Amino acid sequence: MPDRWHGALWKRNAVLREGRTVLQLTECQKDRVLGPYDIENLRPRCVSASLVFGQIVHQALAVFFRENGNPLKFFVDTWKDANGFDLNYSRSESWEKLNAGGQSLLERFLRDELSRLGEITASEKVFELRITNVDRPLVGIIDLLADVAGKKTVVGFKTSGLS
């Protein structure tokens, strides 16, 4: 079983291409016969295409904000790589539909939303929140910390409505 679940990626099965995570995912064919979950560990054996799609969009935006890279090129290249893996698509999804939707989403963000952002303080920033009487901290990732209309704002990117 995977060492650690991280969003839509199995950490142990991730491979590197030019220093960035590229997806290498588990086989979904087994799910059609055995069911979608590993009963022993209660984790999905198959990865949802929409989760992978969302993670790639997030990675594309992180490349843009951290490295001033081209988010459209990153998305197109990485989503193309994902086409080689066995992802679990819903009835309304396909690789082609998510490909077009991701490009459109990023183009709209760059055209309509980027100008609203002021100083960028952080992108994909890990945080921990300790809660009294709870042994372990709540750990999360802030998509973007930026000035919006003169105020420090936590920005969360959402792709679920698209897929």
- The predicted-structure confidence for 28-84, as pLDDT tens digits, reads as follows 433 433 344 444 555 555 788 998 999 999 999 999 999 999 999 999 999 999 988
Question: For residue 141, is it within any domain?
Answer: no
- Please say whether the beta carbons of 47 and 8 come within 8 A: yes
Please give the backbone phi and psi of residue 77, each rounded to the nearest 5 degrees, phi first.
-65, -45
Show the domain range for 79: 5-115
Please give the backbone phi and psi of residue 151, each rounded to the nearest 5 degrees, phi first.
-120, 140
Question: For residue 67, is it within any domain?
Answer: yes
Domain total in the chain: 1
Confidence of residue 9 (pLDDT cuts 50, 70, 90): very low
Give the pLDDT of residue 45. Answer: 59
Question: For residue 138, is it within any domain?
Answer: no
Question: For residue 29, is it within any domain?
Answer: yes
CA quadruple 9, 55, 53, 72: dihedral, nearest 10: -130
Give how far the C-alpha of residue 145 lies from the chain's centroid of Cα atoms, to the nearest Å.
17
> Rounded to two decimals, what is the model's pTM?
0.70
Count CB atoms within 10 A of the CB of residue 21: 16
Q: Which helix (H) or strand (E) holds 146?
A: strand 138-148
- How many helices (H) and strands (E) the chain has is answered by 4, 9
Q: Which long-range contacts (CB under 8 A, 24 or more apart) does 62-67 make?
A: 62/123, 62/124, 63/20, 65/120, 65/123, 65/144, 66/123, 66/124
- The predicted-structure confidence for 74-133, as pLDDT tens digits, reads as follows 999 999 999 888 888 988 999 999 999 999 999 999 999 999 999 999 998 998 999 999
In angstroms, the CA 77 to CA 62 distance is: 15
Confidence of residue 19 (pLDDT cuts 50, 70, 90): very low
Question: For residue 44, is it within any domain?
Answer: yes
Question: For residue 104, is it within any domain?
Answer: yes
Give the pLDDT of residue 162. Answer: 59
Give the pLDDT of residue 61. Answer: 95
Which residue in 142, 113, 116, 119 sits closest to 129, CA to CA?
142
